[in-house]
Amino acid sequence: MILTRFVHLTVVGGFLLLAAGIAVVAGADAQSRADARSIDDAQSDANARSDADTQSSVDAQSGADARSIDDARIAFEEGRFLEAADLAEALGTSVGYALAAQSLAVHGHYVAASDDRKGFFERAMKLGEEAVRADSTNQEAYYQSAHAVGRYALTVGTFTALRRGLAGRVRGLLENALAMDPDFADAHMAFGGWHAGIARAGRVARFLYKGNRESAVIHFERALELAPDSMIVLLEYALNLPELDREGGRERAVALLSKAAGLPARDAFESFIQQDVLEALAELEGPP
């Protein structure tokens, strides 16, 4: 699961720079110097017009890209996840690839038929990789890549995922996301879930990947501190609390889920999360 986040579009544009040189011969007469100045002025005017035209072209492209990413985000918010993925991927930017990966991962988990999920997650993983390649400083790219790998891992099973090194891959991606932004609440939430999952996988997994309950709690608490009203953070922490805290975890999980249940769903994805919240709350409030 993943918190719905929209990062600002960054369009990297280039300017066409025109350069021209005018040779000035020493000892040239005043007319020659005047002619040279005239040529300089004309070239400067041409350069200015060219720069202005180029800037207008870049601005127009930036505006088109911005509208496209906005269209993709609107499609995501309205639950048109496959359309969102296509629109975002077509941008060819790190932001676009990251949103496309997110859209496919969400569609694969919540909408797709069970037999089709693996294919969506595989495509999401490839787009996550593209997002990182396109911009290695984009924390969202690492996060969405980790999200896609994590979703894919669920289709192959815990131990197969461990044998293929997927757990280590997810950890590396989340560490990079947090290196880019130490206050990235989503990444702390996901890292908390990662540690909790490794802790549950057994002693060998804990030894190999250094995952443990203590680190899970630290990351979940940090995520909750950074995003106290995040429906997904509340849900994810609550789902893990009964095992992380054998004494009071169940009661606190109910409290977190009750808070999450009172939050409005801001988009189609959060509507799915809201259903997860209500189902988890009903289960926890039932007999132990």
| pLDDT (tens digit per residue) in 186-242 | 999 999 999 999 999 889 889 989 999 999 999 999 999 999 999 999 999 999 999
Q: 16, 50 in Cβ contact below 8 A?
A: yes
What is the full DSSP assignment across 160-225? HHHHTTHHHHHHHHHHHHHHH-TT-HHHHHHHHHHHHHHHHH-HHHHHHH---HHHHHHHHHHHHH
pLDDT at 266: 97
Domain spanning 64-181 has what CATH number? 1.25.40.10
Residue written as token pair 């990235």: 184
Q: 55, 15 in Cβ contact below 8 A?
A: yes
pLDDT at 47: 54
> Which residues of the chain are under the pLDDT cut of 70?
1-66, 288
pLDDT at 8: 23
Give the 3-state secondary structure of residue 25. coil
Q: 120, 107 in Cβ contact below 8 A?
A: yes
pLDDT at 161: 84
pLDDT at 30: 34
pLDDT at 205: 85
Which amino acid is it at 205?
A: A
Q: 150, 173 in Cβ contact below 8 A?
A: no
pLDDT at 20: 22
pLDDT at 51: 52
